[in-house]
Amino acid sequence: MNTLEAKKNWGLGKNTIPFKISDFEQKTLKDLYFMRFSDLIYQGDFLAGFYLVKPTPGDKITISEYSPYYLPNFSSLEELASLLNAELSHNGINKFNYEVISGKIHAQASYLSKETYHILAYMDSLSPASPNIGKNSNKYTFFHPKNVYSKKLVDYLKATFPMFEEDTLFLFGKTSDIVSGAVQDPYFWSDNEYWKFENDKQIIILHPTYNIKYI
């Protein structure tokens, strides 16, 4: 993980911190010939992840179709992070490393893989497809496609399709399923045989470019 304050904004394209001219003091004009300074930003960490905001003992975390995980007793965020890092039996929780950043627990994938791309429900009993999930909690572990799609397009989709969420533009699914909100439900992917869970283990990862029945 980098040491920038921006590391709290994990994920591809999440940051919008511009470069400074002083950052290029060792570069030559030849090095910079094909660069557009207006397009350069500092990227956050590229691994998938999520935040735990104001967690309390007993809170439930559901990671896609893994069995629910209930937070253990803890007296500080640092203690909770240590307990989560020591978790061995839950196959969803142990895919991430946990660290306290700016008063929140930052969960970052232990390795770069689509195995770490998941849909979350945290601290309430709402369906992951509900737009009313708790404020400031993450619904997904995968990257937020900020600055990838035009703001005009995103604003249009939000205004036209109430269940649409910008985060899901990352998913390679049918446009109709993205704008309808169907892709926000983990069971959509299993019902359509894009991924598979057996005995609390993920057998097929979230990769909508193929279908299990064609493998």
Q: What is the pLDDT of residues 84-110, one digit of tens each?
A: 999 999 999 999 999 998 888 888 888
For the stretch 133-170, what's the b/e string if a residue is b when 16 or more beta carbons lie within 10 angstroms of its beta carbon?
beeebbbbbbbbbbeeeeeeebeebeeeeeebbbbbbb
| pLDDT for 160 beyond 90 | yes
Beta strands 120-122 and 104-109 are unpaired
Give the per-residue pLDDT at 24.
Answer: 67
Give the per-residue pLDDT at 129.
Answer: 39
| pLDDT for 42 beyond 70 | no
- Alpha-carbon distance 179 to 4, whole Å? 35
> What tokens were used for 33?
């010939």
| pLDDT for 36 beyond 90 | no
- The percent of residues above 70 in pLDDT, for the chain, comes to 65
Contact call for residues 108 and 1 (beta carbons, < 8 A): yes
Confidence category of residue 127, pLDDT binned at 50, 70, 90: very low
> What tokens were used for 6?
């921006």
The SS3 call for residue 147 is coil
Q: pTM, whole model, 2 decimals?
A: 0.70
pLDDT digits (tens, 9 = 90+) for 129-157: 333 344 456 788 876 666 667 889 889 99
